[in-house]
Amino acid sequence: MSWGSVDRPARVAAQPLARPPTLPLSGWWYVAAELGCLALGVVLAGSTLRLFSDTASVLDLALVATAAWALAVVIRRSPLPGWSGDLLHLLVGALALLAIVAPEQRWGLLPTPGSVLTLTSLLRDDFSQFERDIAPLDPRTGHLVALAALIWILALFCSTAAMRFRSPVQGAVPHIVATIGLGFVARSSWRYPSALLLLLGVGIYALTQVAWRNSAYNWVPRTSAVTPARLASGAGIVVLGVVVAAVSVPVLPVGVDPVVDVRRGGLGDGGPRTVVSPFVEIGADLGPRSDELLFTVEADTSQYWRLTALDTYDAENGIWVLSNSYSPLNGPLGSGQPAEPPTDLEIRGLGGIWVPSPADPISAETELELNWDPKSGSLIKRSGDLSDGDRIEFRTASDAGTPDPATLENSLPGPASGDLTDPGGAPAELRVLAADLAAGLSPYQSLLALQNHFRDTFAYDETANYSGDADPLDAFLTARSGFCQQFSTAFALGARSLGFAARVVVGFTPGDSEAGLDDGDLRTFAVRGRHAHAWPEVLFRGIGWVAFEPTPGRGDPRTSEVTGVAPAQAAPPAGSTGLESLDSTTTVTEAPSTSVDGGAEQPADSPSEVTADAPEPTAEVTGGGVSWLWVLAAALVIFVVSMATVPIVRRRMRTTGATDPVRRAWDDTIGHLGDRGFTCSASETPLEFAERCNKSLRVPELRWLAALESARRWSGTPNTAWASQQAAEAADAIANRLADDPESVPVTSGQPL
């Protein structure tokens, strides 16, 4: 009986797809997939570099990620049911966390209600600091606890999703989202290593997951090399991604402030405007932002630039805060005949809301909407943050200046009350010290004695950190070293204990400028992170606020006659003038000099003011031609490499099965049958698939094409022209059958086997 006479069979439903083979739960590739999960946890821990100034905390979180991963591996390999293993993992993590946070409040190895209360109190207190904390910050216990809990939970989730439920994408997404989310509340520091670390970790995870799945098919002849081949190609993709990131990340437009400001609830400009004390930002500016250009000033005098004056000392948190309010700036700031020339200030990377200004301005001309507080003498931007290119022109009074020492010698403390005279938070040791130094001296001389005591007997150390001490100010007095925050606080509280009204001013030292110029010559000052500073002011009757300088290595040129302190500030790194990235044609003849102790001056490249781990100066990304040149150069390189690679890929494809006529015919037929609901699983041979399809469709050409494809796969000999022609004809016949009768396919002809 010929095939053409066979009766058309009744159509039957297509069989369900064959299930893929069970993934192995042992072996090298299974272990590699587990290690890929660990890579995600380590990446998440490493991304906290953008939040914390202490790298030791990052290592602690990496250990937490490793412990959580190891426990998940042990539990998954145990005979425990899945849900009970997950509960055990969470329970062990909670017990370990409570034991570490509250080691004295436990019953044996078990926590007590007291340990739980301690933990909740830590979280509440430390996270309440977000109103004033800005990354990078000193890690608090509450911060580390929250991040450790997040890492622990995500390690369990990844193990469950990727290794138990075979859902690798779902297992990786939470880690990726958490890593990127941490970057939204961080400054621009460490964004480059963080991006590369994320690419590397996700790449390792993806490659190991693919390798584990491919290892399930290694029993199929000639497929044992599939895993190494795909690993090699996948590794190439990861390397390419790292290269692209290395080229693109440094030139991406990114601000110096966080994308999401946690102090404003992430509400952006539409959120509530909370005026946060800049006192806490000094440490961040002196550290990770030391060489970032914050703003430039064109002026004829060298002086300290003010942000604001803070009148209330928060002894519990060890910071100064502002108690005044701001109103829209609609007129002059003060009275007097304006001096010439004006002081022009341009923002270059400062960000935030606080506007730097010279001392005692009488007007501020700008297109920005500003608010003004006359009590603190400070300006803030009304909405949004300062942006690169914002400009303000200040005018100061022509007769403005500081009083001479003789006038101060005969002056009395100014009248004030409330916060300005409250010495609360001053340790008893400081009160006794101030009283002993002031014995028998005039008010002015007593303040000079207190100032010089700190300058002569204490050391400047910007790495000092007393946040973990019960009384940070008492710890500073005991250690006798610190930086401007501690010196200005100690002086102001000491002055208050003597009956003076005192406050702390936050701002910047003059900045780097052309050397060899005198006051009266117009010049450009480049103010960087290392110039962030805080200094005290004291109120004198009939005179006003007078600045003092208790911090060693710092001195305001404007008040040198009053304080007896020579001009001094942080020096640029060795071999740098601090002006390299300014768009200026000014010739720099030599670096400015600084004075460390208020006495003899020393060269600016002296290492005394540059810490061992100070970052090297970096080029500023100003949004000008340099950034776009880098982008164009990167695009050109990628284009050239791509065009050079295309011929190679094409030649490679010609020599592989991708363009083999038999394979192409088989792949085309698989596609046509897939439209009818028939899919060839990875565990089926071509002949097995043809037999399964013919039970419903009875397309005899399919069996002949399957035989040709089997010979191509396993014979080890190249296809002949005859085989290629037969495969093409069989594929065409099958396509025609499916097109002629979409409901069922009669059997009319075919190539006998």
Among the listed residues 66, 263, 54, the one whose alpha carbon sits nearest the alpha carbon of residue 140: 54
Does the pLDDT at position 648 exceed 70? no
* 357-366, 620-629, 708-717, 742-751, range with the lowest pLDDT: 620-629
Q: Which uninterrupted H or E stretch holds 525? A: strand 523-528
Does the pLDDT at position 532 exceed 60? yes
pLDDT of 102 reads: 67
Q: Which uninterrupted H or E stretch holds 691? A: helix 686-694
Stretch 334-340: mean pLDDT, rounded?
82
Statement: the pTM of the whole predicted model exceeds 0.75: no
Among the listed residues 368, 408, 404, the one whose alpha carbon sits nearest the alpha carbon of residue 542: 408
pLDDT of 271 reads: 46
Among the listed residues 735, 731, 746, the one whose alpha carbon sits nearest the alpha carbon of residue 697: 746
Most confident of 297-301, 593-597, 646-650: 297-301
pLDDT band at residue 66 under the 50/70/90 scheme? very high
Contact between 605 and 570 under an 8 Å Cβ cutoff? The reply is no
pLDDT of 457 reads: 95
Residue 137, burial from CB neighbour count under 10 angstroms (0-12, 13-18, 19+): buried
* 576-590, 617-631, 725-739, range with the lowest pLDDT: 617-631
pLDDT, one tens digit per residue, over 377-389 is: 899 988 778 888 9
Among the listed residues 440, 413, 409, the one whose alpha carbon sits nearest the alpha carbon of residue 538: 413
Strands (E), 282-425: 293-299, 305-310, 312-314, 319-321, 327-328, 343-347, 354-355, 361-365, 370-373, 378-381, 391-396
* 233-247, 426-440, 694-708, range with the lowest pLDDT: 233-247
Each as own residue / partner, the long-range contacts of residues 429-436 (CB below 8 Å, 24 or more positions apart, any chain) are: 429/474, 429/477, 430/473, 430/477, 430/490, 430/493, 430/494, 430/497, 431/494, 431/497, 433/477, 433/494, 434/494, 434/495, 434/497, 434/498, 435/497, 435/498
Describe the crossing of helices 28-46 and 191-214 by its angle, rounded to 10 degrees.
Answer: 160
Distance CA 92, CA 107 (A): 16
Share of the chain above pLDDT 70, in %: 69
Share of the chain above pLDDT 90, in %: 22
Stretch 497-517: mean pLDDT, rounded?
87
pLDDT of 566 reads: 93
Residue in the structure block whose two tokens are 């010698």: 409
Does the pLDDT at position 449 exceed 90? yes
Does the pLDDT at position 505 exceed 90? yes
Q: Which amino acid is at 277?
A: S
Stretch 326-339: mean pLDDT, rounded?
84
Most confident of 20-34, 190-204, 447-461, 665-679: 447-461
Residue in the structure block whose two tokens are 């994308």: 259
Does the pLDDT at position 227 exceed 70? no
pLDDT of 17 reads: 36
Among the listed residues 660, 658, 651, the one whose alpha carbon sits nearest the alpha carbon of residue 717: 660
pLDDT band at residue 118 under the 50/70/90 scheme? confident
Stretch 648-672: mean pLDDT, rounded?
66
Contact between 640 and 634 under an 8 Å Cβ cutoff? The reply is no
Question: Of residues 655 and 704, which shows the higher confidence score?
Answer: 704
Stretch 53-58: mean pLDDT, rounded?
75
Would you state the structure tokens that stand for residue 740, as one six-digit string?
A: 């002629």
Please give the mean pLDDT across all residues of the chain: 75
Show Cβ contacts of residue 226 under 8 Å, excluding neighbours closer than 6 positions.
214, 217, 218
pLDDT band at residue 48 under the 50/70/90 scheme? confident
Sign (positive or negative) of CA dihedral 52, 54, 55, 59: negative
pLDDT of 109 reads: 66
Distance CA 244, CA 232 (A): 18
Beta bridge partners of 527: 295
Stretch 331-359: mean pLDDT, rounded?
87
pLDDT of 58 reads: 83
Stretch 87-92: mean pLDDT, rounded?
88
